[in-house]
A and B are shown apart, each in its own frame.
Chain A
């Protein structure tokens, strides 16, 4: 009898609308917020590496460029490992090996921080096309938006209308711009460490052959929609305001 009543209660929980049952999870999180945060902090601090000494100091921008380069190389290496495992026999290509880099100048004053846009001086005459990735300081900064013959708008990944496929902590998700020089990856199932690298990836042929760094995790917050999921806030790894030149990745589709 006891078993039957408990099974009935379990079934009610199972088939009740999630909005109602979420209240139980929220209540638990609210009541035990303090011990939960302590446990999370201990877990993170145990796994955090010790900071390096600052004996070898390089300029911040140079350091960021080198870090981005390292992240890209690691992304390429992972991709190459996957390819070797697949033994597909297709021609191996690094992200920029099969394409051209169209270096373009940023029009002075064209950077719009609020809307996440800037303008460049290369267009369809230089094979620049909508959707191509734009690179600066060895990191992806966004994609090409509207294009004219001799100019184009770059939709930065922080643009509120931007959505880019990314990989973070071995999870593939869509990253959405939030317009305040930040972007968000909503509804991630597990917590991600601060400063984790976010890699841009594209499944569309001819845009990007291997993941490249696009940003770093700034914050990891509990999702407002579900208490067990996380929203990740991503910040750029290069300073958009100091951009003078960018490079558009023009990759030819594989033969």
Chain B
């Protein structure tokens, strides 16, 4: 695992998410796309570290600290273990996995935020669905440049 390249990639996604995509009503979640990418293409222990680190980065630009670290860590780890059993190679499957992960992780973030006393927006489900859908549409296409940057050969991928 190339950790320096990983740090650069996560920082770039975090800055883009907090600035360029901040004002858009409908936007993909770059950090969630990276979460799924590393959960799929790293070994399990690295995937766990990556998931929690990406969650921490998402918390830095979120409303509160903690919810996304827990949520991303939990679902990233689950996805890494699931990937030992099921290979997710086709782009359509990757899109489906991103969509489902976005819905589950997003719901958990709202739940954890509510535990912390944060108000839940009225359009929560619309926002969740929109982010999940756009992340699923964009995500598989971002896997290729991410894999190139991380020097991961996704075309010759095999089960761990």
Give chain A's interface residues, CB within 8 Å of chain B.
Answer: 2-3, 6-7, 9-16, 18, 21-22, 24-25, 28, 32, 35-40, 42-44, 47, 189-191, 193, 226, 228
Q: Are B18 and A39 in contact (CB under 8 A)?
A: yes
Give chain B's interface residues, CB within 8 Å of chain A.
Answer: 11, 14-16, 18-24, 45, 48-49, 52, 55-56, 59-67, 69-70, 73-74, 77, 112, 115-116
Indicate whether A43 sits within 8 Å of B73 (C-beta atoms), given known contacts A24-B60, A25-B65, A35-B15.
no
Q: Are B19 and A43 in contact (CB under 8 A)?
A: yes
Q: Are A10 and B52 in contact (CB under 8 A)?
A: yes
Partner of B52, one of A6, A12, A16: A6
Q: Are B66 and A7 in contact (CB under 8 A)?
A: no
Q: Which residue of B lies closest to A23 (CB)?
A: B65
What are 13 sample pairs from A and B whose C-beta atoms fall under 8 A apart?
A2-B45, A6-B52, A6-B69, A7-B70, A7-B74, A10-B52, A10-B66, A18-B64, A28-B61, A39-B20, A39-B22, A190-B22, A228-B61
In angstroms, how far is the closest chain B Cβ from the Cβ of A161? 27
Q: Are B69 and A38 in contact (CB under 8 A)?
A: no
In angstroms, how far is the closest chain B Cβ from the Cβ of A197? 17
Chain B at the A interface: SS class: helix
Q: Are B66 and A13 in contact (CB under 8 A)?
A: yes
Indicate whether A7 sits within 8 Å of B61 (C-beta atoms), given known contacts A13-B66, A39-B20, A40-B22.
no
Chain A residues near B61: list those with CB within 8 A.
25, 28, 228
In angstroms, how far is the closest chain B Cβ from the Cβ of A5? 9
Chain A residues near B21: list those with CB within 8 A.
43
Indicate whether A228 sits within 8 Å of B48 (C-beta atoms), given known contacts A36-B19, A38-B19, A47-B23.
no
**How many angstroms between the C-alpha atoms of A43 and B74 in the bound complex?**
32
